[in-house]
Chains A and B, each alone.
Chain A
């Protein structure tokens, strides 16, 4: 009986992490149909936000430190959602309806975000701020006055070159004058560690099974996020608009729904959830700029297996994949089998974390042979999927 509890709990806790990472994708990919390969990096940004908040609260003293998670979760949501809006307005909105291009562009964004986290320093912040001020400020100023047509085409490139040049040199000069305090990267390429607050350390022992508090917290966080999403999508004004736009964009526009705002909002919601997921994974292990890469493909698989466009599907798929992952990876099956048989050898071969992933992906590909559209396929007849 004990091991049943144990396996259900452990499977559920793996599934909860998967679900939390996939929830944002279920919205961005499932509902909007945007392939965002930078989703993992948004998670990573959420994790780094948690790290920064944790350090800030540590300065305040031990009593405050225990409360940092209550600030970190909303802040991680806000940071990731903000970057998400920038990403949607700056890149993705030009690429709606071209999924393969979106995939490549967002991969580019993910590379930039990774390197940004590695090398961001005060000097670099200064450079970025200067560039933005000069470039966007200059464009705003110049847009006020009329410029003769032959020169109009030159405004943006000239401004771009000028502001990049000035921003870079100014940053380098200030960095050279101030020294290491300016040029030292904030995080560096090494991983950083987030310490769980004292009330999340340890665990509770029930029926002979150890339930670590961190895992319980993540399961609770996932549940809260799920309820919040359902309430938002099904009960709120903007949720209604989001559903309307996904069902019929042009009809929604005719009825006065600002579809562009809805796009930005939906994307921000999905990105923000990635930030929350990042907050959760920062509690599980050390966080490095590459962290996002480890989760992204599995998150996509959850959405595909669940059926694109159905959040219910993602929930079932995440829990199912998590459970199978645990059962195979922990070697649970070998307990019930006679040693020295072929089946035993087979399960023993896959009884490790990395080999369990192999098995799970093979099972997923096999599953998609039976149900190409996932567990809960969208109804309707279309030639093009």
Chain B
């Protein structure tokens, strides 16, 4: 099994061509897709683009840094809850109380103290990014400081997600428990469920996806990116070289959590609900499979994987409701056993060989090419063969 770094070094510069391609794709998504796709598909596309932002974050920590977080649902949900709390505070003037509607059901008479800052839109937007980032930095610091890593880190993140799931699930008075926050009205005076508003959310999602891609690209291409890959491949050696992996890992974990928060906020704006179900263990592991299918340590792969797996899911579960779980389980097995580099990795390494083979072109040589074509070696070989006869 070759190390991933043999084929996954990111290019060192962001070329102008790449920028143009990213901009062109974004423009296509913004201007061409809405008229082309029926409303239902556009809705799905919007959701999956929001999830693709999350996938970029997962790729950053798993694909590049080798930290498999199974708790990204926490950050996704926190981003969603942050924006949803602001939305819930937009109580219509006609309502009987100035509190969010669910609070009256549970007999809450006064707004809990931590809801107050969410009256401010600016605070809510900052919270979408900062709350997940700060939480991840804190959690990451506590975990990485003790050099807990590998599967232990994964198990701990899974434990953390259970903590948050149970907490949000159990607090009816604070967060409406299992039902979550839903039934949003307005954002900055615009009706949230209006088609026009949703279109602007879609545009923002695309722009943020492009920005997130560029951010991850910028982070992974230079010295910093090399360090991340080095931490993934041999952390001990990085430490012995005089670097402190802890701070790098904390930083990357925080950035990745912030991306998950942004994705969660846009997802919530589209679906109109955020509930503790977003902190389901299964959902967080699914995020990993998007990246694995697309190709880890490849940012394009992460975006592609998120879109492909989710569209495959919606298509398959429309046709045969039961089959999806079988298929998803098989997907995990296939990606791990047969396609460890994902689709993009396969396209980069194995596909060219396969095409050459099908076209009858010579195979790339596994040995030193000089040896194969060296006339002296060739001559000696012929001599040996003749002697053998």
Interchain CB contact (< 8 A) of B149 among A108, A110, A300, A385: A385
B146 touching A104 by the CB < 8 A rule?
A: no
Report if B14 contacts A (CB, 8 A).
no
A119 and B322 in contact, given A108-B328, A301-B159, A361-B163 (Cβ under 8 angstroms):
yes
List residues of chain A with CB within 8 A of the CB of B282. 111, 293
Report if A358 contacts B (CB, 8 A).
yes
* A interface SS class: helix
Chain A residues 202 to 218 lying within 8 A of chain B, measured CB to CB, are none
- For A366, the closest partner residue in chain B by CB is B142
- Closest-CB distance, B345 to chain A (whole angstroms): 14
A108 touching B331 by the CB < 8 A rule?
A: yes
- Closest-CB distance, A287 to chain B (whole angstroms): 18
Report if B335 contacts A (CB, 8 A).
yes
Chain B residues 6 to 32 lying within 8 A of chain A, measured CB to CB, are none
Complex Cα distance A104/B142, Å? 25
Complex Cα distance A361/B162, Å? 8
Report if A223 contacts B (CB, 8 A).
no
Report if B84 contacts A (CB, 8 A).
no
Report if A165 contacts B (CB, 8 A).
no
Contact with B along A71-110 (1 / 0, CB 8 A): 0000000000000000000010011001111011101111
A365 touching B336 by the CB < 8 A rule?
A: no
List residues of chain B with CB within 8 A of the CB of A103. 68, 151, 154
Most chain A CB atoms below 10 A, which of B156, B159, B167, B236: B159
A99 touching B326 by the CB < 8 A rule?
A: no
Most chain A CB atoms below 10 A, which of B1, B146, B160: B146
Contact with A along B144-184 (1 / 0, CB 8 A): 00111111101110111011001101100000000000000
A100 touching B325 by the CB < 8 A rule?
A: no
B155 touching A300 by the CB < 8 A rule?
A: yes
B154 touching A100 by the CB < 8 A rule?
A: yes
Report if B337 contacts A (CB, 8 A).
yes
- Closest-CB distance, A317 to chain B (whole angstroms): 13
B150 touching A100 by the CB < 8 A rule?
A: yes
Contact with B along A290-306 (1 / 0, CB 8 A): 00010001001100100
Of B186-194, B284-292, B372-380, the one touching chain A: B284-292
- Closest-CB distance, A168 to chain B (whole angstroms): 11
A114 touching B325 by the CB < 8 A rule?
A: yes
- For B162, the closest partner residue in chain A by CB is A297
Report if B330 contacts A (CB, 8 A).
yes
- For A308, the closest partner residue in chain B by CB is B152
Task: Give the total number of A-B pairs whose CB atoms are below 8 A apart.
Answer: 117
Interchain CB contact (< 8 A) of A300 among B158, B292, B325: B158
Complex Cα distance A306/B146, Å? 17
Complex Cα distance A384/B333, Å? 27
Interchain CB contact (< 8 A) of A107 among B142, B149, B330, B332: B332
Interchain CB contact (< 8 A) of B160 among A115, A357, A365: A365
List residues of chain B with CB within 8 A of the CB of A95. 336-337
Report if B51 contacts A (CB, 8 A).
no
List residues of chain B with CB within 8 A of the CB of A301. 155, 159
B150 touching A385 by the CB < 8 A rule?
A: yes
A107 and B337 in contact, given A115-B322, A357-B166 (Cβ under 8 angstroms):
no
- Closest-CB distance, A349 to chain B (whole angstroms): 10
Complex Cα distance A129/B154, Å? 37
* B interface SS class: helix
List residues of chain A with CB within 8 A of the CB of B340. 101
List residues of chain A with CB within 8 A of the CB of B322. 115, 118-119
B326 touching A115 by the CB < 8 A rule?
A: yes
- For A105, the closest partner residue in chain B by CB is B336
- Closest-CB distance, A104 to chain B (whole angstroms): 5
B151 touching A91 by the CB < 8 A rule?
A: no
Complex Cα distance A304/B170, Å? 26
List residues of chain B with CB within 8 A of the CB of A169. none
Number of interface residues of B (CB under 8 A): 43
B156 touching A107 by the CB < 8 A rule?
A: no
Interchain CB contact (< 8 A) of B329 among A35, A109, A352: A109
Complex Cα distance A352/B171, Å? 11
- For B328, the closest partner residue in chain A by CB is A111
B146 touching A108 by the CB < 8 A rule?
A: no
Complex Cα distance A280/B51, Å? 40
Complex Cα distance A25/B353, Å? 42
- For B153, the closest partner residue in chain A by CB is A100
- Closest-CB distance, B20 to chain A (whole angstroms): 36
List residues of chain B with CB within 8 A of the CB of A115. 322, 325-326, 329
- For B164, the closest partner residue in chain A by CB is A358
Report if B281 contacts A (CB, 8 A).
yes
Contact with A along B308-352 (1 / 0, CB 8 A): 000000000000001001101111110111001000000000000
- For A100, the closest partner residue in chain B by CB is B68
Complex Cα distance A352/B158, Å? 21
- For B237, the closest partner residue in chain A by CB is A383
A105 touching B332 by the CB < 8 A rule?
A: yes
Most chain A CB atoms below 10 A, which of B152, B154, B163, B336: B336
B333 touching A109 by the CB < 8 A rule?
A: yes
Interchain CB contact (< 8 A) of A91 among B147, B285, B337: B337
- Closest-CB distance, B228 to chain A (whole angstroms): 16
Contact with A along B243-282 (1 / 0, CB 8 A): 0000000000000000000000000000000000000011
- Closest-CB distance, B223 to chain A (whole angstroms): 24
Interchain CB contact (< 8 A) of B167 among A109, A300, A358, A364: A358
A94 touching B337 by the CB < 8 A rule?
A: yes
List residues of chain A with CB within 8 A of the CB of B163. 357-358, 361-362
- For B148, the closest partner residue in chain A by CB is A372
List residues of chain B with CB within 8 A of the CB of A110. 329
B335 touching A358 by the CB < 8 A rule?
A: no
List residues of chain A with CB within 8 A of the CB of B289. 104
Report if A369 contacts B (CB, 8 A).
yes
Complex Cα distance A355/B135, Å? 20
Pairs across A and B, CB under 8 Å, 30 listed: A35-B154, A35-B155, A94-B337, A100-B66, A100-B151, A100-B154, A104-B285, A105-B333, A107-B285, A108-B330, A108-B333, A108-B336, A111-B282, A111-B325, A111-B326, A112-B329, A115-B329, A297-B155, A300-B155, A300-B158, A354-B170, A355-B166, A357-B162, A357-B166, A358-B166, A358-B167, A361-B162, A372-B146, A384-B236, A385-B152
- 10 closest cross-chain pairs (CB), A and B: A108-B332, A112-B329, A111-B329, A115-B325, A372-B146, A108-B329, A105-B336, A354-B166, A361-B163, A383-B236
**Additional A-B contacts beyond A354-B169, A362-B163 (8; CB < 8 A):** A100-B151, A103-B68, A297-B158, A304-B156, A355-B166, A355-B170, A357-B166, A361-B163
